[in-house]
């Protein structure tokens, strides 16, 4: 009986340990909230520290303090190229939206049913907005990383860096989602409309 009791105790401890690990992991993966408009650097650092709940041991703290300045230099150049890429991408998305808007308008002139295409355009706009928001938050976070005194606040530096990684992941998944939506949904709708017009032209 004592052996069985011991096994049960071990099992209960293991279950709690798993639950604890899952909770810790979930906390680390929690998407960051948007930084409030008009917030200061200190406010944003405090927000990210609270969100990420980074705990640094002595070794990690010293390592960060020794290396963070060089990392800030690299992040500064990443931030520059990031801005260029996201602006270019936004222009492409705006161009696609404008073309859809024009084709919807011209199809309406000949009384074609554009409901599906209009709905798809609205969904695309929603996804573009999500990408744009993630880009803006990402750029703000990168700015904060380069602005913070990383030697004085390595935990804040680490929290911002972890936040930036999450935003980078969000940005990447959003533009993949946009591309997939355009290729799998919008383009087939346009092809279908073109086919309808071809059939109509051939029968007239």
Give me the residues that bind other proteins (CB under 8 A), please. Answer: 63-64, 67-68, 70-71, 74-75, 78, 82, 85-86, 88-89, 92, 95-96, 99-100, 102-103, 105-107, 109-110, 161, 164-165, 168-169, 171-172, 175-176, 178-179, 182-183, 186-187, 190-191, 193-195, 197-198, 201
Measured from the CB atom, the residue of 6 and 87 that comes closer to other proteins is 87
Measured from the CB atom, the residue of 9 and 198 that comes closer to other proteins is 198
Min dist CB 142 to other proteins, Å, is 9
Min dist CB 136 to other proteins, Å, is 14
Min dist CB 3 to other proteins, Å, is 46
- Please tell me the distance from the alpha carbon of residue 48 to that of residue 8, in angstroms, as a whole number: 40
- Token pair listed for 61: 């703290």
Measured from the CB atom, the residue of 35 and 178 that comes closer to other proteins is 178
Min dist CB 38 to other proteins, Å, is 26
CB 51 within 8 A of CB 30: yes
Measured from the CB atom, the residue of 6 and 195 that comes closer to other proteins is 195
Min dist CB 201 to other proteins, Å, is 7
Contacts of 179 (CB under 8 A, 6+ apart): none
- Please tell me the distance from the alpha carbon of residue 156 to that of residue 204, in angstroms, as a whole number: 70
Place of tokens 């980078």: 168
Min dist CB 168 to other proteins, Å, is 6
- Please tell me the distance from the alpha carbon of residue 8 to that of residue 92, in angstroms, as a whole number: 61
Contacts of 189 (CB under 8 A, 6+ apart): 116, 117, 120
Measured from the CB atom, the residue of 9 and 95 that comes closer to other proteins is 95
- Please tell me the distance from the alpha carbon of residue 47 to that of residue 118, in angstroms, as a whole number: 39
Return the number of other C-beta atoms located less than 10 Å from residue 85's C-beta.
13
Measured from the CB atom, the residue of 50 and 67 that comes closer to other proteins is 67
């Amino acid at each position: 009986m004592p052996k069985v009791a011991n096994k049960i105790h071990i099992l209960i401890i293991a279950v709690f340990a798993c639950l604890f690990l899952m909770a810790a992991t979930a906390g680390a993966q929690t998407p960051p909230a948007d930084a409030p408009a008009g917030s200061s650097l200190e406010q944003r650092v405090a927000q990210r520290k609270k969100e990420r709940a980074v705990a640094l041991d002595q070794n990690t703290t010293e390592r960060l303090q020794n290396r963070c300045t060089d990392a800030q230099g690299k992040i500064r150049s990443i931030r520059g190229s990031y801005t260029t890429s996201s602006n270019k991408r936004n222009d492409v998305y705006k161009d696609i939206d404008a073309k859809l808007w024009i084709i919807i308008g011209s199809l309406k002139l000949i009384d074609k049913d554009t409901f599906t295409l209009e709905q798809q355009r609205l969904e695309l706009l929603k996804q573009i907005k999500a990408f744009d928001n993630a880009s803006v938050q990402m750029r703000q976070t990168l700015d904060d990383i380069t602005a913070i005194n990383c030697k004085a606040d390595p935990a804040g530096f680490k929290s911002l860096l972890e936040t930036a990684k999450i935003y980078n992941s969000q940005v990447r998944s959003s533009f993949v989602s946009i591309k997939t939506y355009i290729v799998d949904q919008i383009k087939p709708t346009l092809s279908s409309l073109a086919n309808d017009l071809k059939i109509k032209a051939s029968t007239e």
